[in-house]
Chains A and B, each alone.
Chain A
Amino acid sequence: MCRRYGTWALAYAFVAPTVLLTALFSLVPLAMLLWRSLQGGGVFDTSPRFVGLDNYRDMLAEGGGHALGVTGVYTAGFVLLTMVAGLVLALLLNSRVPGAARLRAPFVIPLVVPVVATALIWGNMFAPQFGLVNRLLSAAGLPQADFLSSPGPALVAVLTFGAWQFFGQNVILYVAALKSVPRDVLDAASVDGAGPVRRFRHVQWPMMRRHTLLIWVVTTLTGLQTFTQIYVLTQGGPDGATQTALYYVYNEGFVQFDTGRANAMGVALFLLSLLITATQVWLLGRADRAR
């Protein structure tokens, strides 16, 4: 009996740091966010009052709707680029070519060095006239562009850098996914005369479905929360063209001091990531039942 209470005390002491700090620094701020998104007045207003969905309407009308659109375009491009590049490179690394497997390490580099530093490099490479990209464009006889100061090209530039920075993670994850396909199943397919393309289509791809789903979720959540790239390269400009949802939260909350709009967008970001995670849980559950 004594031992049991001792065990309980130990267990509560062990879980206390995680549980209490999660409550204080995740759940309390979340409650504050939800509550304050329904209240009027900025940071300087001393008498907050309930305003219903006014902040949401204001946010959507004042650049927030546009920012959500930019986030959607950015995230879609980000997911497509990094997942396709990740899968293709993982297949190459996984091919039975000598030495290929050892080439995995370089792809980790962009992922682990400070984003601010690599963003400054890419800013320099996208510079007008002397930047690498414009040098390549003129070498190819194409017109140059002032990438970071024109809306369309700025989004392309930010997306290119974002994909470069992150795709290594999907290379690593797809290599692990390909390794999880049992060797004997692949060998059996080879014996039946299946070439690499058919082995991929009919064996590896279906057997990696679960991995692909998990990779999609992590990649989408990362794309949704893009911030540092934008902060360093464009500050959301030109003319809001690269203003993503998270940059909007930062800009309204910490630069313009319109916390009503910032909180409304914070809630939107929270709901979007919740939706992605819920989709994951639902699809995983369906896949498990189908098995």
Chain B
Amino acid sequence: MPASLVARRAVVYTLLGLAVLIVAFPLLWMVAGALKTDAEIVNPAAPLWPEHPRWGNIGQALSQAPFGRWYLNTTIFGVAATAGQLLSGLLAGYAFAMLDFPGKRPLFVLALSGLMVPFSAIIVPISQLLGDLGWLNTYQGLIVPNIASGLGAFLFRQFFLGTPRELGEAARLDGASELRVFAAVYAPLARPVAAALAIILFLQNWNNFLFPLIVVNTTEMSVLSQGLSVFQSQFTTQYNLIMAASLIAIVPVLLVAVAAQRHIIEGITLGALD
């Protein structure tokens, strides 16, 4: 191997290693902090890793706040909102791509118009609207406003436009209804798109903070992120408990992310570049 190639590889590995360290270090800092005493955390001369890791800190953090309830709320919100986005996007995308009906063009523009209105701009009127509906501090208030997905409708439409028309024609000649053509012939083809989109939408819903913040203000209806921020305001200076609570929130998502990394990477690309 020529020396210049060795040098080039060394530079690439060093830079990549440094970048991975920058990504990973805060998480290691969190684990170390979660296992320290507070005295160890605030002592600048103390070693980065505790001499006697205190695993009991995690149990103590768990007992200080209703993490189980917050996990349950986040799961209900995440699963229901994602399922709604996928299903409504699949149906609308299919209709806009494969069926002909009066008003198709304006309805398509309307379906995509949601993409032009960032949720963050309308937080005040949307919370007033949900208040008028009596939906504040409810699951439907969390879930229903998130179901329409312009992105989902758009991506599924793109996908179905690329599928062969002949498949449907053949099924129709065999006497299949339009609903059956969709359910038995076309919908199963969309499985890979649905998988990539599902994981990305799920993580977005799971980590959504601003929306639950304006819809929910009770402890028992809070999602995990909200609960965590309340936890922090109650235990401001008990840094080890705060780090333990962050750990409780991060580890499960980390496991999902490692298991589904291929779908996540696909989903990110699908959402932004297509």
Which residues of A approach B to under 8 Å, CB–CB?
3, 6-8, 10-15, 17-30, 32-33, 36, 85, 88-89, 92-93, 95, 97, 100, 103-118, 120-122, 124-125, 127, 129-130, 132, 134-135, 138, 164, 168-169, 172-173, 176-177, 211, 214-215, 218, 221, 225, 227-228, 231-232, 246, 249-250, 253-254, 259, 262-263, 266-267, 269-270, 273-274, 277
Q: How many Å from the CB of B245 to the closest CB on chain A?
A: 8
Which residue of B has the minimal Cβ distance to A20? B148
- Contacting A at CB under 8 A, from B30-62, are 30, 33, 41-44
**Cα distance A215–B94 in the bound complex, in angstroms:** 27
Chain A residues in 8 Å Cβ range of B92: 14-15, 17-19
Which residue of B has the minimal Cβ distance to A28? B129
**B23 is an interface residue with CB less than 8 A from chain A:** yes
Find out whether the CB atom of A124 lies under 8 angstroms from the CB atom of B253: no
Find out whether the CB atom of B272 lies under 8 angstroms from the CB atom of A10: no
Find out whether the CB atom of A249 lies under 8 angstroms from the CB atom of B210: no
**Cα distance A109–B178 in the bound complex, in angstroms:** 43
Known: A116-B228, A120-B242, A164-B26. Contact between A269 and B118, CB under 8 A? yes
Chain B residues in 8 Å Cβ range of A115: 207, 209, 225
Chain A residues in 8 Å Cβ range of B23: 106-107, 109-110, 164, 168
Find out whether the CB atom of B273 lies under 8 angstroms from the CB atom of A177: yes
Q: How many Å from the CB of B125 to the closest CB on chain A?
A: 4
**Cα distance A20–B144 in the bound complex, in angstroms:** 11
Which residue of B has the minimal Cβ distance to A221? B118
Select A14's contact among B9, B94, B203, B269, beta carbons within 8 Å: B94
**B229 is an interface residue with CB less than 8 A from chain A:** yes
Known: A12-B101, A267-B121. Contact between A254 and B210, CB under 8 A? no
Q: Chain B contact residues: over half helix, strand or loop, or mixed? A: helix
- 7 cross-chain pairs, A with B, having the tightest CB-CB distances, nearest first: A21-B148, A14-B95, A32-B125, A270-B121, A18-B92, A14-B91, A29-B125
Chain B residues in 8 Å Cβ range of A231: 209, 213, 229
Select B33's contact among A10, A124, A129, beta carbons within 8 Å: A124
22 contacts between A and B (CB under 8 A): A15-B91, A17-B92, A18-B153, A19-B107, A25-B148, A26-B122, A27-B110, A95-B8, A100-B13, A105-B261, A106-B20, A106-B23, A107-B20, A112-B203, A118-B250, A121-B29, A124-B30, A132-B25, A164-B22, A231-B229, A250-B214, A273-B118
Find out whether the CB atom of A95 lies under 8 angstroms from the CB atom of B12: yes
Chain A residues in 8 Å Cβ range of B226: 116
**Cα distance A114–B231 in the bound complex, in angstroms:** 15
**B124 is an interface residue with CB less than 8 A from chain A:** yes
**Cα distance A135–B99 in the bound complex, in angstroms:** 63
Which residues of B approach A to under 8 Å, CB–CB?
8-9, 12-13, 15-16, 19-20, 22-27, 29-30, 33, 41-44, 84, 87-89, 91-92, 94-96, 99-102, 104, 107, 110-111, 113-114, 116-118, 120-129, 144-145, 147-150, 152-153, 177-179, 182, 203, 206-207, 209-210, 213-214, 224-226, 228-229, 232, 239, 242-243, 245-247, 249-250, 253-254, 257-258, 261, 264-265, 268-269, 272-273
Chain B residues in 8 Å Cβ range of A6: 177-178
Find out whether the CB atom of A120 lies under 8 angstroms from the CB atom of B246: yes
19 more contacts with CB within 8 A, not counting A24-B145, A118-B246, A120-B246, are: A18-B148, A25-B145, A29-B126, A100-B13, A104-B265, A108-B257, A109-B23, A114-B209, A117-B225, A129-B42, A130-B44, A173-B273, A221-B118, A225-B118, A227-B209, A232-B229, A232-B232, A246-B120, A250-B123
Q: Which of A3, A22, A172, A246 has the most CB of B within 10 A?
A: A22
Known: A17-B91, A19-B111. Contact between A270 and B118, CB under 8 A? yes
Chain A residues in 8 Å Cβ range of B261: 105, 108
Chain B residues in 8 Å Cβ range of A92: 12, 15-16, 19
**Cα distance A30–B113 in the bound complex, in angstroms:** 11
Chain A residues in 8 Å Cβ range of B16: 89, 92-93, 100, 103
Known: A115-B209, A121-B29. Contact between A266 and B107, CB under 8 A? no
Find out whether the CB atom of B27 lies under 8 angstroms from the CB atom of A109: yes
Known: A112-B207, A120-B242, A232-B229. Contact between A30 and B26, CB under 8 A? no
Find out whether the CB atom of A11 lies under 8 angstroms from the CB atom of B264: no
Select A15's contact among B13, B29, B42, B95, beta carbons within 8 Å: B95
Find out whether the CB atom of A97 lies under 8 angstroms from the CB atom of B9: yes
Find out whether the CB atom of B257 lies under 8 angstroms from the CB atom of A112: yes
Q: Which of A11, A95, A218, A262 has the most CB of B within 10 A?
A: A11
Chain A residues in 8 Å Cβ range of B99: 7, 10-11, 14
**Cα distance A130–B113 in the bound complex, in angstroms:** 49
Find out whether the CB atom of A273 lies under 8 angstroms from the CB atom of B15: no
Select B207's contact among A30, A114, A138, beta carbons within 8 Å: A114
Q: Which of A13, A106, A225, A227 has the most CB of B within 10 A?
A: A106
Chain A residues in 8 Å Cβ range of B224: 114
**Cα distance A130–B101 in the bound complex, in angstroms:** 66
Chain B residues in 8 Å Cβ range of A7: 99-101, 178
Which residue of A has the minimal Cβ distance to B179? A10
Q: How many Å from the CB of B273 to the closest CB on chain A?
A: 6
**Cα distance A33–B95 in the bound complex, in angstroms:** 31
